[in-house]
Amino acid sequence: MEELKELMIFCNPNKSRYLDLSRFEDRKYLYSYYSDRLSGNTSLPPIERVLREKIPKGVLVDVGAGPHSYSNVFSLAIDFGAKAYIGFDLGFKKLRVVDDFDPKGFLVPEDMLVGISKVNVNSANFSFNGIDWLTRDYGEAIVDELERATIDEGIIFGVGSEGVQLLINHRKSFRKLNLEGYYHDWFIYQKN
């Protein structure tokens, strides 16, 4: 657990605001097929090249990881050599360390905004798969935290998650990578 504390040591000045925002979000776990669609795209050469270059440079954070679907993004952390894997989801019953792989994985039962707000500055890449939210303020706060926590030239990627894409598109700190070909619902942004 000490290793996780080192990865999430940031003391966010917005903590109380984020806790208030997270109270209004849906706290039910809803099964999603998005994670499976992610794995079909990551083996395509243009996407694989970007992931192979970017993922080893930081922690891979799986936002809304899902108790039954986190393994797809965790596999990317393993295959592409992330420094660690952290999955946030309110569906996890308790904090769990998965240490029989390299890198070590942490499954954290936490609201996604509250979790991201604890990730160290310039330390991570992020994956969103089928994630949405109810209020724009909550989404804007998530993107604020992504700007802070994403490593320089790091990536935010996944499938679906239209709310994430909409808000990131309006930020000058990220640019969408246009990879050749068509990938259903796939997105990838790089921090400038």
Which CATH number is 141's domain given?
A: 3.40.50.150
Short-list 63, 25, 31, 18, CA closest to 155? 63
Say how far apart CA 111 and CA 133 lie, in whole Å.
Answer: 11
Q: Is 29 part of any domain?
A: no
Using pLDDT thresholds of 50, 70 and 90, give the confidence band for residue 126.
very high
The Cα-based distances of 97 to 102, 131, 149, 166 in angstroms read 12, 23, 22, 33
> Model confidence over 150-175: pLDDT tens digits?
999 999 999 888 899 999 999 999 99
Q: Is 26 part of any domain?
A: no
Q: Is 36 part of any domain?
A: no
* Structural domain for 111, as ranges: 2-7+41-191
- The encoded tokens of residue 113 equal 């905004």
Q: Is 114 part of any domain?
A: yes
If one counts the domains in the chain, the total is 1
| Confidence at residue 186, expressed as pLDDT on a 0 to 100 scale | 85
67 or 80, greater pLDDT: 80
Average pLDDT over residues 44-59: 94
Average pLDDT over residues 70-97: 94
| Confidence at residue 23, expressed as pLDDT on a 0 to 100 scale | 67
| Confidence at residue 28, expressed as pLDDT on a 0 to 100 scale | 40
